[in-house]
Amino acid sequence: MALDLDTVALFVRVATLGNVSAAGRERGLSPATASTRLAQLEGGLGARLLHRTTRRVALTQEGEVFLGQAQALLAAEAQALASVGQGFAAPQGLLRVSCSSSFARQHISPALPEFLARYPGISLDFRLTDRVVDLLEEGVDMAIRVGALRDSTLIARKLAANRRTLCASPAYLAAHGAPRHPSDLTQHECLTLGEQRDWRFVTPGGPLSVRVAGRLVSDNGEVLRDAVLAGLGIALKSTWDIAAHLQRGELVPVLQAYPLAEEVAIWAVYPSRVFVPPKTHAFIEFLQARFSPVPYWETLWPAPAQDR
């Protein structure tokens, strides 16, 4: 039997999404047509690949075995096309991307016109949310995540370092004084992001964790940035969000002699599978080139000598 690679690609997407209709829509197929193609694939192979219910589709044992081979076939096809010229392997299709709203608006949204002009075959479904999206459950191709990654089966590629600092407004420091040691933070108004109330530092005496508190807690980083600018307290912020304010003196770094213990970064994550579409590779490489080797926001407020 000669395999139709378009149908093989449809099968891989159904296995990823767990939904025939959703996978069909991505490829411009009606649910009936997508189901027919999958049935033809199963008939040609002489094996049932999918268990179908009214709510979800799951792989059979034969389907799980075939999935690995299908992914390898599609990867080999992409490599073969790339080997005979870029024109044959131009990235194309709908790319669904999830990203935290603040970082997206500040540093990715301005670059989207350039990306779409460079890759006319790609369409973007760009979703802004501060919650952690289940890529497979929601049919998202990749996500851009800021911070420490949770353990998962996702593949992660680093886009940039995420340098952070404690900061406050000159007005707040004039009224309340500046902390001289991390333990002094317990006497200050600290603006916290969600449940991130334990701030960890590197000190000459070893690692130190300080439980901070304040009158304002938010799950949105922009709310905290506005609050620290308004003089409401001390905040732990990423330089991609506040570098310009530090440069203009609207915010002042505090406790620079005590580096934060946790190193975090900005990541592109995508499902762990053999076949990664060229459209996903294209967007990741575009962002890596934009943010490397040193993110442009770091030129506004360079790292202190001990952080370099």
Q: Per-residue pLDDT averaged across 137-144, rounded? A: 85
> Is 5-84 assigned to CATH 1.20.1050.10?
no
The residue ranges of every structural domain in the chain are 5-84, 93-153+276-298, 164-253
* Per-residue pLDDT, 87: 45
> Is 93-153+276-298 assigned to CATH 3.40.190.100?
no
What fold does the segment set 164-253 form as a domain?
A: D-Maltodextrin-Binding Protein; domain 2 (3.40.190)
Contacts of 65-72 spanning 24+ positions with Cβ under 8 A = 66/11, 67/11, 67/12, 67/15, 68/274, 70/8, 70/11, 70/12, 70/275, 71/12, 71/273, 71/274, 71/275, 72/274, 72/275
Residue with the larger pLDDT of the pair 213 and 136: 213
* Per-residue pLDDT, 306: 52
Label residue 86 by pLDDT band (50, 70, 90): very low
- Residue 150 clears pLDDT 90, i.e. is over it: no
- For the chain, what is the mean pLDDT? 87
Spatial neighbors of 238 by CB under 8 A, at least 6 apart, are 146, 162, 163, 164, 221
Whether residue 304 is preceded by a cis peptide bond, meaning omega within 30 degrees of 0, is no
Give the amino acid at 261: A
Q: What residues form DSSP beta bridges with 93?
A: 122
